[in-house]
Structure 1
Amino acid sequence: MTVAELARYLPEEADVAGLLAELADNYSPRGIVLVERGGRWLFQTAPDLAHVLAPTRERPAKLSRAAVETLAIIAYHEPVTRPEIEAIRGVGVSGGTVDVLMEAGWVRPAGRRESPGRPLQYATTPGFLVHFGLASRRDLPGLADLKAAGLLAAEIPGDDSGDADA
């Protein structure tokens, strides 16, 4: 629930943010914790106990490389249209790829762009933030974080951050 939704159930003079912080502190040593994800407050399993629930959780099918790339583009560039996704990826995006992401609850239609043809735009959902443990899209890793984790080559074409004389 959002802070505004919670405030409807409390007296007007209640400090909702303060109460949520106090409640989060109260639950922090327990098996479930109160967290904020995408502007909404929810209870979830404590990170140190997630492994206990792993065998009982339904494992979704692994995403294809195209689906992972499409999800990343939508997350970093939202709202984004299919032609923009295709321009960034350099290849076409099948309707099934976006459908898989929408079925997973991670992507949603975000209106139509005010341009010729009025293409449909896509954006991530609060479910995307919850699934990946992000408070907001600002928590997505940047280029420096991805390089440090070894997920990107140290030198990216067109990136002037490396040594010039190496």
Structure 2
Amino acid sequence: MDRFQQLRLLEAILFASTEPVTVKHLTGRMPEDADLNGLLEELQGMYANRGVTLNKVGDAYAFRTAADMAEFMTVERETPKKLSRAAIETMAIIAYNQPVTRAEIEEIRGVAVSRGTIDLLLEAGWIKPRGRKQVPGRPVTWGTTPSFLDQFGLEDLKSLPGVQELKAAGLLDSRPGVGAISMRESDADLTDSETLEEEEMDLFDEETDYEAVETEDAIAIDE
């Protein structure tokens, strides 16, 4: 076997392996008269400026994607998540009653709202803090974001379907609390002297001690 054929054989062995191939293994696979070190150096030179390079990994060799191509090889994949019933109800209550506090959400739903539900909606970018209500304890209020409107194809909050439309579509729970959805007209109860950034800084510290846990908040991830 001439040198060119030996070079092709070496290339094929390395290409076919999913793991780095040791020099010892290559020596056993190549012809006895092959200059393995010389062939490896030549092969490395051939692939030096290619999208794939021949890299030395310890005492082994392997073809790898060129380092400067790594950023272009990254594939972003979205994992769809199915909202729990609790998250859907909480989202609806916030949309129709904003700005609304956690306590008000719980009063409408009739059950406690766990922090996981709020975190999920925050992660989705559908809700945001709207300030603090001017009542004892000054609880944080929640409202929807432009992303919420975009996600559900709404021009504005006035485009939200009415109660009768929801009932007709079978999307409104028959429980009195959940059925009592009404859009608020003003933000009169909100403070206007503090910035949103200041509110967000201590928001999660205050909610850490909240111990209400709801079994409905499990998120099922579609495989």
Q: Under TM normalisation by the shorter chain, which class is it?
A: 0.5 to 0.7
Offset of residue 82 of structure 1: 0.3
Determine the structure 2 residue equivalent to 1:70.
Answer: 90
Equivalent residue pairs, number: 102
Q: How does 1:1-166 map to 2 (within 5 A)?
A: 58-152=78-172
What runs of 5+ residues in structure 1 fail to find an aligned partner? 1-55, 160-166
Find the aligned partners of 2:167 and 2:97 in 1 and give their Cα distance: 20
Kindly indicate whether structure 1 or structure 2 has the higher relative contact order, using CA contacts under 8 Å at least 6 residues apart: 2
Offset of residue 146 of structure 1: 1.7
Offset of residue 148 of structure 1: 2.9
Q: Tell me, what secondary structure is at the counterpart of 1:122?
A: strand
* AA of the residue aligned to 1:121: T
- Give structure 1 regions of 4+ aligned residues with deviation exceeding 4 angstroms: none
* AA of the residue aligned to 1:85: I
Q: Tell me, what secondary structure is at the counterpart of 2:81?
A: coil
Deviations 1:87-118 (A, max 9, x none): 00000000110010000000001111011000
Superposition RMSD in Å: 2.4
* AA of the residue aligned to 1:80: V
Find the aligned partners of 2:107 and 2:158 in 1 and give their Cα distance: 23
> Structure 1 residues 120, 132: closer, same or farther in 2, change over 3 A?
same
Segment drifting more, 73-82 vs 143-152: 143-152
Q: Tell me, what secondary structure is at the counterpart of 2:78?
A: coil
What runs of 5+ residues in structure 2 fail to find an aligned partner? 1-75, 180-223
Percent identity at matched positions?
62
> Structure 1 residues 95, 156: closer, same or farther in 2, change over 3 A?
closer
Determine the structure 2 residue equivalent to 1:28.
Answer: none
Offset of residue 57 of structure 1: 7.8
Larger Rg: 2
* AA of the residue aligned to 1:68: I
> Structure 1 residues 152, 106: closer, same or farther in 2, change over 3 A?
closer
Offset of residue 156 of structure 1: 8.3
> Structure 1 residues 97, 156: closer, same or farther in 2, change over 3 A?
closer
Q: Tell me, what secondary structure is at the counterpart of 1:58?
A: coil
* AA of the residue aligned to 1:151: L
TM-score normalized with structure 2 length: 0.42
